[in-house]
Amino acid sequence: MLSATDTIRSLGGLARGTHLRSLGFTRQALAGMVRRGEIERVRHGVFAAGPLDEQVRAATAHGGALTCASVLRSAGIWVLPADDGPHVWLGPDNHALPHPGCTCRSHYYRGRPPLGSATIETALLHLRRCCGDEAFFAAYESAWRLQKLSAAARARIRKALPRSARWLVELARADADSGLESLLRLRLHVLGIHLRCQVRIDGVGRVDFVLGDRLILEADGDENHGSPTRRHIDRIRDAAASRLGYETLRFDYAQIVHDWPTAQAAVLGALHRLSRPVA
């Protein structure tokens, strides 16, 4: 017979007491292992063994499962909201449990939370309810690009969305390089502006977007454009594009996320200017 420690680790690091008792471990035996530090009682009826992610531990102690932005961020998916503590799925009828240092955000969404973490599919749907369409769209495209959403998963997500929101997954693409690109494209789509995405221009290279015939848009995240070397390369590309008759607008994270009206005005102004006949 496996030890309780090995059994819990084989179950992913967390196990319900009811399951452990069905495998032959008595209440008294489990209590003794907790006293000796062999296993940890995270909350009443739930035990842990081995290394456990701190956010998963907090969500379990809170009475539910990690979900929403917390699950997506831990999977490397681009998430718009700031890291504001563990997002915890409690289900519609559960109550949050007090635990030390709680910074959890409770989500009383329907369904029964699993032990540990929600799936990426569920976390995306919870993110939309928690943070809105834009956050969902950017995270959805990021998850798709990272190959974390199969065709079947994307179909299930679409079916689970309200009919009024299904256009978001229909607009989504698998080649968005960053969440900033996703936000920019979504916001301009809402304005009725058509963009060509990931366009390769001879003498320039691949650019994020082209509007009309002569306007290039680039969404510059710090991870790809923040170094002096990268900024120098960007200027060389912009000069090459200008030589070919293009105008380039670059927007960084702060402009797209926190000052979108100014960025939008710049795009509309450039489109108007470039649409006028050359004298």
Tens digit of each residue's pLDDT (9 = 90 or more) over 118-138:
999 999 999 999 999 999 999
Question: What CA–CA distance (Å, rounded) separates 262 from 210?
Answer: 19
Please tell me the predicted confidence (pLDDT) of residue 229: 82
What is the H or E stretch that residue 29 is in? helix 27-35
Report whether 63 contacts 95 (CB < 8 A): yes
**Is the torsion defined by CA of 71, 77, 80, 83 positive or negative?**
positive
Q: Write down the CATH superfamily of domain 175-279.
A: VSR Endonuclease (3.40.960.10)
Residue 142, pLDDT above cutoff 90 = yes
pTM: 0.91
Gap between the Cα atoms of 93 and 118, Å rounded: 17
Edge-to-edge strands, sheet with 65-66: 65-66, 87-89, 105-107
Domain boundaries of the chain, sorted by first residue: 1-52, 53-173, 175-279
